[in-house]
Amino acid sequence: MYKTKMDRIVFLDYTRILAFISVLVGHKFIVPLIITMGDTSQHASIRLLANIAYQICYGGAAGIIIFFLTSGYIISHVLQSETSTEFIIKRIFRIYPLFMFAVVLEAVLNRYVLGLPFADISDWIPRLLLLGDYFGTRPVIGSVEWTLRIEVTFYALMVVLKACGLMRHQNYLPAVFILITLALHFLPAFPSAPGLAYGYFTVYAPFLFIGVCIYLIEHRRANNNVCLLTIAIIMYSFFLKAVTIVPDWKELNYGLFAVMAFSLFWLLRRHLTDGPFIRLLSTLTYSVYLFHNWFWTYIEMALKSMGMQENYLKMATVTVLFLFCYGVNKTVEDYGLKMGRKVLQWHRSRQLNTSVKATA
């Protein structure tokens, strides 16, 4: 039996699903939206809806922001009860096993299907550790891993804040977020190494703080007005920095739409239904995100070699992609999580033994 909505944060399943649909459509199905927007034979309302969908999906940018908002919210939630060590163990085994598998699989397929050489060991280590921005290593897995580097940095920041006692005094967190946002705003754009997603950390990382602020508002752990001011400052900084760092996208409202979409699901959180299909889609979001932008090409190559007609190619590719992602979720991802639980159990038993010896 599925847990009740009070036991599980159901609305986050919906935000994850919206996020990965936005990313998938933005990377692989954006052309039909563009055609519909410019088709004057269509009703104006249809063109308006296509335009809204285009704003949300183009480049997957809004989906990425929704992922960050979701992460900011859930990380705030788990840090209420987890120790720093428990948090680190869980995050490592949640993020790294499937990511490393994707990176290695891509390298093997590139080598033996496309004939591309393997990277040097000096590139492999920072790449697998999600430290590529600091070493200027070439992006992999369809260049989506930059978001994971931002996530990992956010995890480290939250652990530091917890160590400083700010999880016991969460009313100070919005002020800290304002200072960090202003620092990012006025410091040089990061990353700036050639070949990397220029300035994306500067532009998008503060959206994680908005997710935290929404959590603080909901649970009354900080002043609502200060949280709203923090959100306003982050949004204003985004509008200013996006013009200079991602100028090609300054005519799009993806940042605003992403925050509005997340906020809408949050407002409706008590009315959203749970169920096996919602949980399945939510569970597959990470694997689909890691594989969709590069493994897609290999699926298409395989389907074309089997005589798949062009009219059915995209839908067949989506089907195979989801089946593959379901497979790696049930194997690589689940095994990684099980390993994490074993390490966590070992850590807790070690802590317990230490405590018993100290009191003996």
pTM for the full model?
0.93
Q: Which domain holds residue 72?
A: 10-359
Distance in angstroms between the alpha carbons of the first and the last residue of the chain: 43
Cβ partners under 8 Å of residue 99, min gap 6: 128, 130, 141, 145, 148, 290
Q: What is the mean pLDDT of the chain?
A: 92
Cβ partners under 8 Å of residue 349, min gap 6: none
- Whether 4 maps to a domain, the answer reads no
> 6-10, 48-52, 202-206: which has the highest mean pLDDT?
202-206
Domain count, the chain: 1
The model's confidence at residue 85, banded by pLDDT at 50, 70 and 90, is: very high
The pLDDT tens digits of the residues spanning 162-205 come to: 999 999 999 999 999 999 999 999 999 999 877 777 899 999 99
The better pLDDT of the pair 187, 351 is held by 187
- Whether 1 maps to a domain, the answer reads no
Q: So what's the pLDDT on residue 122?
A: 86
- Whether 5 maps to a domain, the answer reads no
The pLDDT tens digits of the residues spanning 241-289 come to: 999 998 988 889 999 999 999 999 999 999 999 999 999 999 999 999 9
Q: From the CB of residue 326, how many other CB atoms can be counted at a distance below 10 Å?
A: 15
Answer yes or no: are the C-beta atoms of 321 and 288 closer than 8 Å. yes
- Whether 271 maps to a domain, the answer reads yes
Q: So what's the pLDDT on residue 1?
A: 32
Answer yes or no: are the C-beta atoms of 10 and 272 closer than 8 Å. yes
Q: So what's the pLDDT on residue 3?
A: 42
Question: Looking at the predicted structure, is the pLDDT value of residue 8 above 70?
Answer: yes
- Whether 113 maps to a domain, the answer reads yes
- Whether 3 maps to a domain, the answer reads no
Answer yes or no: are the C-beta atoms of 291 and 324 closer than 8 Å. yes
Percent of the chain exceeding pLDDT 90 equals 80
Question: Looking at the predicted structure, is the pLDDT value of residue 7 above 70?
Answer: no
State the Cα angle at 353 between 351 and 356, rounded to 5°. Answer: 110
The pLDDT tens digits of the residues spanning 99-144 come to: 999 999 999 999 999 999 998 888 899 999 999 888 888 889 998 9
